[in-house]
A = this chain, B = another copy of it.
Amino acid sequence: MTNPPSTIQNLIDQFNKLPGIGPKTAEKLVFFLLKQPRESLSEFAQSLLKAKDNLTICKICQNLSEISPCLICQNPHRDKKVICVVADTQDFMALEKTGVYSGLYHILNGTLNPLEGITPNKLNVKQLVERIKNDKIKEIILAFNPDVEGETTILYLTKLLKEFKIKITRLGRGLPTGSDIEYADEITLTNALQARKEL
């Protein structure tokens, strides 16, 4: 067996390291890219480095941004008394796309997972406490994934922020749109029953 040229194999290995990209997908991506004209490839490579170089962390909400403070923290139309705490920029983007939230955000940079060494001092907890102390916050929305790490983080933050006597909320639980009661798991159905609304 003759191995493929090492430059190709090297590139395939690099793509294979990306999350969710197996060896076959890596091959497919590499051969797709190699068929592109050099200018597009160069543009692609440049965008990658440009993104890394142009981005900074907003000193208020800790989000990735081109400027600090970021556009949301600077925006005079956003409600400065509400902070929605999220794990990362992707969760922030998903919430922001709904278009219904007009408060500020705080990026925690992960959720608590002591087994993997992610303790509160690895997260942006201190910065959150500072903001609550200084900025007359009225409500904190804890928007984490409904899983073990998310629940742990909610428990920890609720306890930590109790002393500030502010409203602390979490995202509603229940049936997602388009789902099937027949196939919903017990916890989701229990949550949906407990969160039932009067009509």
Could you tell me which residues of chain A, from 79 to 129, have a CB within 8 Å of some CB in chain B? 88-90, 93, 96-99
Given contacts A32-B19, A89-B31, contact A52 B41 (CB under 8 A): yes
Total copies of this chain within the assembly: 2
Partner of A7, one of B6, B45, B66, B90: B66
Partner of A51, one of B2, B7, B21, B25: B7
A149 at interface by CB-CB < 8 Å: no
| Stretch in A8-16, A167-175, A183-191 with 4+ CB within 8 Å of B | A8-16
Given contacts A7-B55, A48-B11, A72-B2, contact A18 B32 (CB under 8 A): yes
A64 at interface by CB-CB < 8 Å: yes
For A, the interface residue count at a CB cutoff of 8 angstroms equals 53
A44 at interface by CB-CB < 8 Å: yes
A93 / chain B contacts, CB cutoff of 8 Å: 4, 27
Given contacts A25-B20, A71-B2, contact A34 B49 (CB under 8 A): no
Q: Is the CB of B2 within 8 A of A66?
A: no
Q: Is the CB of A45 within 8 A of B34?
A: no
**Could you list some 9 contacts between A and B, CB below 8 A?**
A1-B99, A4-B89, A7-B50, A19-B32, A20-B25, A20-B28, A34-B51, A34-B64, A44-B48
Residues of A within 8 A of B (CB): 1-2, 4-8, 10-11, 14, 18-21, 25, 27-34, 38, 41-55, 64-66, 71-72, 75, 88-90, 93, 96-99
